[in-house]
């Protein structure tokens, strides 16, 4: 009977791991490289531009192989995910130096288009939503989760409503019940879709998973009970996080609901035709969001896009926003100082996401500390403000104790990662300070010991040296061996000299040779401890982040209003749209500097005038031009005056 050819042990393990995640590109750590084989290698060559080579597979013959250095993982992972692939990372789980046979390896992370934390994988100005869908007859429940920020929301309604919601939220990945993929694609379009088993969508189990994740005994406080299908979808997303090795993310600590009646709903065709986020002209065009985005932080930019995708209809909330904008418009110096401080915050939400997933770098932790330290001065500067702004800032949490702890533990300018330089500050751990002193001043210590022992013994020619056989030793020429102290231990006899060791020298040797490893271990433990403390503050920091993001958007609106002389719209619940001398921010942005924009009036109501046709053409000399107008942006053409400027208040047709 012919012998069946077998894979080599390493490739056998590779294919075993691959069989557990057949839909993913498997990156397999081998020494200093990540490699992939067979069909995955062919795909990686096409997507990443790698050189295809071969890997020996014993009697089976060579298989296709491609690889890249392990330190370049982030770059290549980003390319694969952005190309729409799910990627499984199989890393080494033990030091190869101590492995007796095959190095132990296992899946440490699965990255998908909807589950990404890497800075280069994400658009800083957009959320990266993972969406779960549960369908029951004519109803559909949806859950939207951005693991990078912790934003978690549920909704429920008709298929048409959920389709509109998908167009607004633009999820990167859908998670659906197995067997529903084709039907949902036909209904909602071509999204990256992952299917999981039916049991993941069971309501009672979903409730229990959500309670564990959110650390509560009941979900009543989140008011999501009216959306049972949305709850099923949220539970399924938590199952999917478990399946992709992303359990216990502490930044997912709250959940909200999306109420259909609170927003103006625009499907993807409306958003496209209005060119809110993308211009019909492609890369050369300017969508509406660009001239409106004067945000100083990534959090603010993301919130602005959420507001534009789902405009709120709550008049009380709208007028509160306008009160804050008006306050900034009337205080330009305050606006400038606030935007300057906001610009120093960085992306608090996504730093928290990486802290929750254990991927935060030391400099990100320091940036978080600086951001939290800035929050208090921003709040104090705006203490003398209208009720709407005071109420907004009153919700901020006190994180002063955490700021002090970050400043105490971290080095003022930490290295980019642990092992690349000091990360923990001086004075935090006595043993760490001693080890650093040994590592940095080893030669000085040896010279001091050599000088001290020479003076003590009278052997002026003794020297301390090192070799791979004995380690550190003291060498004494034969002429002085009678002066050697009795406590020295002879290790080697040479023709003209003797070599000795001492208890002190061996203790020093042990310290110096293991100092770097111990420094790395101590810094890792201290850094992990600090990360654990930060994780306890995640809910409070998220609250502050949302408040600062809202402040950022409204400060940006004020900045835009001052620059472009926009006025405050007068909002009510009537069915009348009355714009005087309106201008479209995109068209005005694109106009040549020498040309003056000709404003237009627009009037619409439910009885007299329900439709108008607006044209856009180049005017003849002496003629007026009609341009497309936006109801949210109107102004007078006078220049700004004292605070508040006279042009800030709008007027209505009677």
- Measured CA to CA, the distance from residue 3 to residue 32 in angstroms comes to 35
Give the mean model confidence (pLDDT) for residues 596-607: 89
Give the mean model confidence (pLDDT) for residues 105-110: 89
Is residue 455 situated within a structural domain?
Answer: yes
Number of domains in the chain: 5
Residue 544 CA, chain-centre distance (Å), reads 17
Is residue 634 situated within a structural domain?
Answer: yes
Window from 238-247, 351-360, 430-439 with minimum mean pLDDT: 430-439
Range of the domain at 328: 300-399+546-564
Tokens (6 digits) for 254: 């709250």
Q: How confident is the model at residue 3 (pLDDT cuts 50, 70, 90)?
A: low
Checking if the pLDDT of 71 tops 90, the result is no
Contacts of 187 by beta carbon, 8 Å cutoff, 6+ apart: 159, 163
Tokens (6 digits) for 292: 């409106």
Is residue 96 situated within a structural domain?
Answer: yes
Q: Are residues 223 and 306 in the same domain?
A: no
Q: What is the pLDDT of residues 511-556, one digit of tens each?
A: 777 787 889 999 999 999 999 999 999 999 999 999 999 999 999 9
- DSSP-assigned letters across all residues of 589-603: HHS-TTSPP--EEEE
Identify the residue with better confidence: 6 or 10: 10
Give the mean model confidence (pLDDT) for residues 336-355: 95
Main-chain dihedrals φ then ψ at residue 191, nearest 5 degrees: -95, 155
Q: Are residues 552 and 586 in the same domain?
A: no
Choose the final residue of a domain: 528, 554, 586: 528
Q: Are residues 325 and 370 in the same domain?
A: yes
Q: What is the pLDDT of residue 405?
A: 96
Give the mean model confidence (pLDDT) for residues 65-81: 91
Q: Are residues 588 and 651 in the same domain?
A: yes
- 141 contacts 133 by C-beta, under 8 angstroms: yes
**Can you tell me which residue has the tokens 């932080």?**
297
243: CATH: 3.30.420.110
- 301: three-class secondary structure by DSSP: helix
Is residue 282 situated within a structural domain?
Answer: no
Q: What is the pLDDT of residues 166-213, one digit of tens each?
A: 999 999 999 999 998 888 888 888 899 999 999 999 999 999 999 999
58: CATH: 3.40.1170.10
Choose the final residue of a domain: 232, 262, 292: 262
Q: Are residues 552 and 572 in the same domain?
A: no
Question: Which secondary structure element, helix H or strand E, spans residue 12, and what is its range?
Answer: helix 9-20
In 129-288, where does DSSP find H-type helix?
159-169, 181-188, 203-214, 228-243, 268-273
Contacts of 400 by beta carbon, 8 Å cutoff, 6+ apart: 376
Give the mean model confidence (pLDDT) for residues 491-502: 89
Choose the final residue of a domain: 242, 262, 282: 262
- Measured CA to CA, the distance from residue 354 to residue 368 in angstroms comes to 11
Q: What is the pLDDT of residue 359?
A: 87
Give the mean model confidence (pLDDT) for residues 368-393: 92
Q: How confident is the model at residue 1 (pLDDT cuts 50, 70, 90)?
A: low
**Can you tell me which residue has the tokens 């906001």?**
342
Q: Are residues 590 and 557 in the same domain?
A: no
Residue 20 CA, chain-centre distance (Å), reads 28
324: CATH: 1.10.1420.10
Q: How confident is the model at residue 594 (pLDDT cuts 50, 70, 90)?
A: confident
Main-chain dihedrals φ then ψ at residue 642, nearest 5 degrees: -65, 170
Q: Are residues 151 and 246 in the same domain?
A: yes
- Measured CA to CA, the distance from residue 47 to residue 55 in angstroms comes to 20
Q: How confident is the model at residue 617 (pLDDT cuts 50, 70, 90)?
A: low
Q: Are residues 203 and 238 in the same domain?
A: yes
Q: Are residues 136 and 241 in the same domain?
A: yes
Q: Are residues 237 and 360 in the same domain?
A: no
- Measured CA to CA, the distance from residue 239 to residue 241 in angstroms comes to 5
Is residue 470 situated within a structural domain?
Answer: yes
Checking if the pLDDT of 103 tops 90, the result is no
Q: Are residues 71 and 98 in the same domain?
A: yes
Checking if the pLDDT of 631 tops 50, the result is no
410 — alpha (psi -120 to 50), left (phi > 0) or beta? Answer: beta
Give the mean model confidence (pLDDT) for residues 321-334: 95
Is residue 173 situated within a structural domain?
Answer: yes
Q: Are residues 98 and 175 in the same domain?
A: no
Question: Which secondary structure element, helix H or strand E, spans residue 454, and what is its range?
Answer: helix 442-457
Q: What is the pLDDT of residue 226?
A: 94
Model confidence, pTM: 0.82
Is residue 460 situated within a structural domain?
Answer: yes
HEC assignment per residue over 511-541: HHHHHHHHHHHHHHHHHHHHHHHHHHCHHHH
Give the mean model confidence (pLDDT) for residues 583-601: 86
- Measured CA to CA, the distance from residue 279 to residue 589 in angstroms comes to 14
- Measured CA to CA, the distance from residue 410 to residue 574 in angstroms comes to 57
CB atoms within 10 A of CB 537: 21
Contacts of 503 by beta carbon, 8 Å cutoff, 6+ apart: 487
Per cent of the chain over pLDDT 70 is 92
CA distances from 582 to 174, 279, 324 (A): 40, 21, 22
Q: What is the pLDDT of residues 381-417, one digit of tens each?
A: 998 888 999 999 999 999 999 999 999 999 999 999 8
- DSSP assigned state of 546: H
Q: What is the pLDDT of residue 443?
A: 67
Is residue 534 situated within a structural domain?
Answer: no
Question: Which secondary structure element, helix H or strand E, spans residue 635, and what is its range?
Answer: none
């Amino acid at each position: 009977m012919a012998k069946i050819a077998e894979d080599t042990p390493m490739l056998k393990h590779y294919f075993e791991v691959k069989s557990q995640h057949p839909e993913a590109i498997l990156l397999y750590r081998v020494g200093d490289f990540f490699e992939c084989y067979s069909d995955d290698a062919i795909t990686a060559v096409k997507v990443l531009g790698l050189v295809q080579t071969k890997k020996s597979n014993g009697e089976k013959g060579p298989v296709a192989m491609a690889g890249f250095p392990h330190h370049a993982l982030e770059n290549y992972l980003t390319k694969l995910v952005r190309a729409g692939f799910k990627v499984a990372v199989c890393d080494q789980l033990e030091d190869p130096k101590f492995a007796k046979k095959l190095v132990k390896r296992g899946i440490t992370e699965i990255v998908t288009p909807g589950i990404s934390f890497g800075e280069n994988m994400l658009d800083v100005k957009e959320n990266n939503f993972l969406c779960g869908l549960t369908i029951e007859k004519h109803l559909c429940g949806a859950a939207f989760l951005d693991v990078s920020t912790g934003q978690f929301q549920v909704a429920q309604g008709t298929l048409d409503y959920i389709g509109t919601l998908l167009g607004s939220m633009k999820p990167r990945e859908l998670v659906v019940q197995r067997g529903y993929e084709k039907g949902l694609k036909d209904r909602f379009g071509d999204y990256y879709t992952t299917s999981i088993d039916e049991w993941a969508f069971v309501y009672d189990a979903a409730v229990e998973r959500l309670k564990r994740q959110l650390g509560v005994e009941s979900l009543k406080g989140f008011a999501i009970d009216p959306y049972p299908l949305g709850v099923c979808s949220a539970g399924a997303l938590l199952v999917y996080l478990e399946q992709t090795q992303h359990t216990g993310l502490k930044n997912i600590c709250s959940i909200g609901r999306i109420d259909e009646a609170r927003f103006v709903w625009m499907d993807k065709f409306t958003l496209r035709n209005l060119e809110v986020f993308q211009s019909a002209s492609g890369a050369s065009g300017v969508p509406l969001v660009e001239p409106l985005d004067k945000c100083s932080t990534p959090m603010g930019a993301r919130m602005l896009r959420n507001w534009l995708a789902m405009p709120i209809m709550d008049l009380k909330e709208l007028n509160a926003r306008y009160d804050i904008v008006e306050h900034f418009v009337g205080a330009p110096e305050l606006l400038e100082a606030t935007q300057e401080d906001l610009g120093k915050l960085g992306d608090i939400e996504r730093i928290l996401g990486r802290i929750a997933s254990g991927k935060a770098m030391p400099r990100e932790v320091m940036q978080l500390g600086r951001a939290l330290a800035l929050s208090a001065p921003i709040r104090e500067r705006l203490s003398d403000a209208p009720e709407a702004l005071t109420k907004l800032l009153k919700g901020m949490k006190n994180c002063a104790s955490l700021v002090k702890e970050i400043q105490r533990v971290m080095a003022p300018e930490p290295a980019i990662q642990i092992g690349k330089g000091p990360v923990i500050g001086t004075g935090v751990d006595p043993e760490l300070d001693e080890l650093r002193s040994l590592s940095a001043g080893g030669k000085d210590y040896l010279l001091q010991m050599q000088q001290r022992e020479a003076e003590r013994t009278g052997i002026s020619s003794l020297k301390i040296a090192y070799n791979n056989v004995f380690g550190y030793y003291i060498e004494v020429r034969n002429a002085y061996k009678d002066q050697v102290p009795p406590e020295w231990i002879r290790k080697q006899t040479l023709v003209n000299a003797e070599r000795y060791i001492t208890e002190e020298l061996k203790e020093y040797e042990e310290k110096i040779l293991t100092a770097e490893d111990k420094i790395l271990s101590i810094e890792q433990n201290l850094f992990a401890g600090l990360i654990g403390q930060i994780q306890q503050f995640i809910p409070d920091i998220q609250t502050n982040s949302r408040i600062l993001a809202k402040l950022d958007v409204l400060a940006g609106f004020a900045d835009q209003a001052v620059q472009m002389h926009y006025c405050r719209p007068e909002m009510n619940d009537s069915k009348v749209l009355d714009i005087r001398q309106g201008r479209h921010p995109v068209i005005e942005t694109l106009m040549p500097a020498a040309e003056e924009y000709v404003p237009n009036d627009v009037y619409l109501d439910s009885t007299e005038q329900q439709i108008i046709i607006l044209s856009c053409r180049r005017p003849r000399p002496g003629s007026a031009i009609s341009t497309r107008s936006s109801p949210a942006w109107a102004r007078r053409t006078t220049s700004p005056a004292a605070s508040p400027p006279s042009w800030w208040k709008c007027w209505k047709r009677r």
